[in-house]
Structure 1
Amino acid sequence: MAVLKTILTVVLILISIIITAIILCQEGKSAGLGAIAGASDTYWSKHKDRSMEGVLVKATRALVALFLILSIVLNIGSF
Structure 2
Amino acid sequence: MMLAAKIVLVALCALLVLVILLQSGRSAGLSGVITGGSNQMSNRRSKGLDSFLGKVTVVLAILLFLVTMLIAAFYHYNIH
Aligned-partner SS, 2:26: coil
Separation in 2 of the partners of 1:63 and 1:56?
10
1:61 aligns with 2:58: yes
Provide the C-alpha distance between the structure 2 equivalents of 1:53 and 1:61, rounded to a whole number of angstroms. 12
AA matched with 2:13: S
Query: What residue number does 1:20 align with?
Result: 17
TM-score by length of 1: 0.70
Aligned-residue offset at 1:74: 0.4
Q: State the Cα RMSD in Å.
A: 1.6
Task: List gaps (5 residues or longer) in structure 2.
Answer: 34-46
Higher helix share: 2
Instruction: Provide the residue aligned with 2:42 in structure 1.
Output: none
Give the TM-score normalised by the residue count of structure 2: 0.69
Report how many residues are paired: 61
Identical amino acids, percent of aligned pairs: 22
Cα drift, residue 60 of structure 1: 0.3
Report runs of 4+ in structure 1 exceeding 6 Å deviation: none
1:15-63: per-residue Cα shift (whole Å, max 9, x none)? 1000000111111112425xxxxxxxxxxxxxx3xx0000000000000
Q: Does 1:71 align with 2:34?
A: no
1:76 positional shift: 1.1
- Any stretches of 5+ residues in structure 1 without a counterpart? 34-47
- CA distance in 2: counterparts of 1:55 and 1:8, whole angstroms: 26
